[in-house]
Chain A
């Protein structure tokens, strides 16, 4: 019994348009939500071009590009939306294509899940979808792979178009305060060690969020109760969540440790998750919202540190007497609807020295969305501002500016950053390729 994918009509139009392109194979990502019974595909996004792409390169599939694109896209998806799989539009032989698709889907899934700070749940769906479209015949072949099983083979799946797939999806959201601080090791206060320490701190915080109590519209609902029970069908529902946490009861580390300083992240974030309209349970709403809370904070911290690392900002070293404090603003979250009607949105992060045009450029390049400034929802978060008077002791406060806005190739920058960081680099994944 294979999986069944219910796909927005708009995706069919999008894929058709891509078929009309004459140059080489076109790859891309399929975005949506999986559930135990059914899977929903809401968007398809073609892989963006690299600036230096040549005609020759256009004939083969750039695996690194596909996976890096998937990582960037995944960071722009609110809770409930994820990269479900990969599509390719090519008239190449089906068997070879399937092999390529299999490699891509495993690589994409591995890269994306390596960034997750939460533990996989027992009820997570681990099947990913691959779609092969022949541009001449328009024939589509849909297969799934279980990415938890390295030896899994292709299984057939249903691919069915429908209109208004997500038009009555429910939205759960909240505005949440983050307050974490971690010590920095003695004599190692560079950006790299800050990254490591923050990752540890974020993991502990993520665990607190995961084990926290979630109230929906002010009530603690039993896990298996239906969220939309008693509501009129096909009417869009929005819910507000509240999260209550307690710190970990056990403390295993030393009470007082030497340090070279400390780093903290303080402020508020807006979190949002979308739920399919097929009788979603309270448990699902809680899981998806909590994951979005964790990933929006982690993503922004990563983005900030990636910028610092690639722009070569280096710490001047710690000194015994002087206390130096730097304050950096995390970018704020902006939402953009996927369709003119329908609640489902994607999001992007705007650094303090960027304008909305940069956000629009990124939405176009990464998600192939044509948005206008008035479509963007900028009201959910207020841009952070560094307050000079906050700083203690020494007046040697330096506010490091967020890097300059780039009007050009975001995916190119992302690829460079990935290479510079050697972080779970796409190439590493191919060493483990099956």
Chain B
């Protein structure tokens, strides 16, 4: 596997549906499997044939990988470096289908850049050829029609040419078809066939980007055996999930449909302290704050929003499937555990860390530890505990005290000097999902120990990560 190194790597991702169609005599299971295998073999031939075309999305570039890597426009040849393709891709700013001027290079992203390709088939070829034949087969049987959602990704370095990339993409496509065949045959029962789908997972270095084929519609709980095998295969710890559906790698240029910002903290420059180390939340969370979801909770909802951010972390890491709860659902959960009266639901009453702990337990089945400091100045001495939390649990922390609630996403702490900085995500922000503004104005930013009210007492809710895969 190639390491996903953001400075030099381009990910080439090819997607495209392939039709799986065949007539099946369901009275003979052996024959059925043979027919399905043969149909997959036909698809593999298609992908290796001269009719296979890789179209670079949003560009006039088309590549025939099996025809000597012939490409149009004619400026592109098999020895052209992959990186050059970027110049041909239209962004929203331009209309022309030509090359972008050298000045307008794309913004440097912090994560690897992605080139999207579409798998297509050319149906034309030089003639003359034989006119069509209509073939009618009469036989009581079954007909299988499925669409295989091919999705392969390969990482290339700056020295790779288009020819290299095509070779790897074709290999990936063929391999994926084999995996899909295996999964289809494995999960076939009588007349039910589960269509396979491909998901990509970003594993810790040096393993990098890995693609796994799962049967569509099978839930995470049904796939536990597969995940166990994968953890063994890739030598991954068996106490945290890497292969749940929610863990699927989110490609940098794919927008999130729900509109929330993800991990705004990654664009920040972390503070440098003498002998200081940075300890951060692990994984992906969404930024929840005042006024979102058309809910006007300005002035009272900060703890609710912090709780939502925490819930989003558990959902996106694959520990729970439940979507982020609304204010009402949070309030109802507290009524359900007997912590509040029924009149609480629909009110604008504040909640604190204890309530956050209760709701995480009630709705998500998550346990949390509570840390108490009798005055804000004491927080400066909690460096070791906070660092350890981010190391072992890696979950966002909700902190409530005085009249405010915040989320702590990390600390920079020096063991020798004791200096500490806190990475704070502020739920009191009322504006739009503008990453620039949010980071410039410090709504997500590093704060010093003077950020806390030095005399107020604080409670921290530290959610514990379940040790499962």
| A residues adjacent to B (C-beta < 8 A) | 174-178, 181, 183-184, 186, 189, 194, 212-213, 215, 218-220, 222, 241-251, 253, 255-270, 297, 300-301, 304, 315, 317-320, 322-333, 379-386, 390, 392
How far is A383 from B130 in the complex, measured between Cα atoms in Å? 6
B73 at the interface (CB under 8 A from A): yes
Q: Let me know if A256 and B55 touch, CB within 8 A.
A: no
Q: In the complex, which residues of chain B have a beta carbon less than 8 angstroms from the beta carbon of A322?
A: 139
Given A176-B123, A245-B123, A246-B120, check contact A219 B132 (CB 8 Å). no
Q: How many residues of B contact A (CB 8 A)?
A: 51
B432 at the interface (CB under 8 A from A): no
Interface of B, helix, strand, loop or mixed by DSSP: strand
Shortest Cβ distance from residue A177 to the other chain B in the assembled complex, whole angstroms: 5
Within 8 A of A (CB), among B7-24: 16-19, 21, 23-24
Say which one of B142-150, B237-245, B449-457 lies at the interface with A: B142-150
Most B CB contacts (10 A, CB to CB) among A184, A301, A333 go to A184
Binding site for A on B (CB under 8 A): 16-19, 21, 23-24, 26, 53, 55, 60, 62, 72-73, 96-97, 118-147, 149, 191-193, 195
Q: Nearest residue in A to B96 (C-beta to C-beta)?
A: A222
Interface centre among B121, B130, B138 (most CB of A within 10 A): B138
Report yes or no: B141 in contact with A244, Cβ–Cβ below 8 A: no
Q: How far is the CB of B296 from chain A (nearest CB, A)?
A: 38
Cα of A327 to Cα of B121 in the assembled complex, Å:
26
* B222 CB, min distance to chain A CBs, angstroms: 18
User: In the complex, A268→B73 CA distance in Å?
Assistant: 27
Kindly list chain A residues whose C-beta atoms are within 8 Å of the C-beta of B144: 255-256
Q: Verify B18–A247 contact, CB threshold 8 A.
A: yes
Which among A222, A246, A247, A333 has the highest number of chain B CB atoms within 10 Å? A246
Q: How far is the CA of A380 from the CA of B128 in the complex (A)?
A: 5
**Contact indicator A251/B142 (Cβ below 8 Å):** no
Q: By the criterion CB–CB under 8 Å, are A194 and B136 in contact?
A: yes
A178 touches B132 (CB 8 A): yes
- B193-A256 in contact (CB<8A): yes
Q: Are B147 and A248 in contact (CB under 8 A)?
A: yes
- B191 near A270 with CB under 8 A, answer no
In the assembled complex, which residues on chain A have CB atoms less than 8 Å from the CB atom of B18? 247
Give the chain A neighbours of B130 by CB distance below 8 A.
267-268, 381-385
Q: Which residue of the partner chain B has the closest CB to A305?
A: B134
By beta carbon, the residue of chain A nearest B52 is A244
B24: nearest residue on chain A (CB-CB)?
A256
Known: A241-B124, A262-B137. A330 touches B62 (CB 8 A): no
Distance in angstroms between the alpha carbons of A243 and B193 in the assembled complex: 32
Residue numbers in B under 8 Å from A244 (CB-CB): 53, 55, 62, 120-123
A265-B137 contact, Cβ under 8 Å, with A177-B124, A259-B142:
no
- Could you tell me the distance between the alpha carbons of A253 and B21 in the complex, rounded to whole angstroms? 13
Query: In the bound complex, what is the Cα–Cα distance between A256 and B195 (angstroms)?
Result: 11
Most chain A CB neighbours (cut-off 10 Å) among B62, B97, B130, B134: B134
Q: Which 3 A-B pairs have the closest CB atoms?
A: A267-B132, A175-B127, A268-B129
Provide the residues of chain A in CB contact with B146, threshold 8 Å.
Answer: 251, 255
Q: Is the CB of A243 within 8 A of B124?
A: yes
CB distance from B134 to the nearest CB of A (A): 5
14 contacts across the A-B interface (CB closer than 8 A):
A176-B123, A222-B96, A255-B144, A259-B143, A262-B143, A263-B134, A268-B130, A269-B131, A317-B138, A320-B140, A328-B134, A329-B131, A380-B128, A382-B129
Q: A317 vs B139: C-alpha distance in the bound complex, in angstroms?
A: 9
Contact A222 B97 (CB under 8 A): yes
A386 touches B133 (CB 8 A): yes
Give bound CA distance, A390 to B125, whole Å. 23
Among B60, B119, B126, chain A packs the most CB atoms within 10 A around the CB of B60
Q: Which of B19, B96, B132, B139 has the most CB of A within 10 A?
A: B132
Nearest Cβ on chain A to B131's Cβ, whole angstroms: 4
Evaluate contact between A189 and B138: CB separation under 8 angstroms. yes
A244-B123, A261-B138 in contact; A330/B133 too (CB < 8 A)?
A: yes
A251 in contact with B145 (CB, 8 Å): yes
CA distance A392 to B38 in the complex (A): 15
Q: Shortest distance in angstroms between B43's beta carbon and chain A's nearest beta carbon?
A: 11
Q: How many Å lie between the Cα of A164 and that of B191 in the bound state?
A: 63
- Are B133 and A265 closer than 8 Å at their CB atoms? yes
The chain A residue sitting closest to B26, CB to CB, is A256
Closest B residue by C-beta to A301? B134
A260-B138, A323-B138 given; 12 more Cβ-contact pairs under 8 Å: A222-B96, A245-B121, A246-B17, A250-B147, A264-B134, A266-B133, A268-B131, A270-B127, A270-B128, A326-B136, A328-B134, A381-B127
A176 in contact with B124 (CB, 8 Å)? yes
Q: Check A268 against B132 for contact (C-beta < 8 Å).
A: yes
A220 touches B72 (CB 8 A): yes
A371 to B161, CA, bound (A): 56
In the complex, the chain B residue whose C-beta lies closest to that of A186 is: B140
Chain B residues whose C-beta falls within 8 Å of the C-beta of A379 in the assembled complex:
128
Verify A262–B131 contact, CB threshold 8 A.
no
Which residues of chain A come closer than 8 Å to B132, judged between CB atoms? 178, 265-269, 297, 300, 330, 384
| Given A249-B147, A256-B144, A381-B128: A323 in contact with B137 (beta carbons within 8 A) | yes
Which residue on chain A has the smallest CB distance to residue B98?
A: A222
How many whole Å from A159's CB to the nearest CB in chain B? 39
A317: which B residues are within 8 A, CB to CB?
Answer: 138
B142: chain A residues at CB < 8 Å are 256-259
Contact among B16, B122, B143 for A242, CB-based, below 8 A:
B122
Tell me the bound Cα distance from A380 to B134 in angstroms.
Answer: 20
Contacts of B143 in A (CB 8 A): 183, 256-259, 262
- Could you tell me the distance in whole angstroms from the C-beta of A166 to the nearest C-beta in chain B? 24
User: What is the distance, in angstroms, from B364's C-beta to the closest C-beta of chain A?
Assistant: 32
A220–B139 CA distance with the chains assembled, in angstroms: 44
How many angstroms from the CA of A360 to the CA of B119 in the assembled complex? 44
Q: How far is the CA of A241 from the CA of B72 in the complex (A)?
A: 14
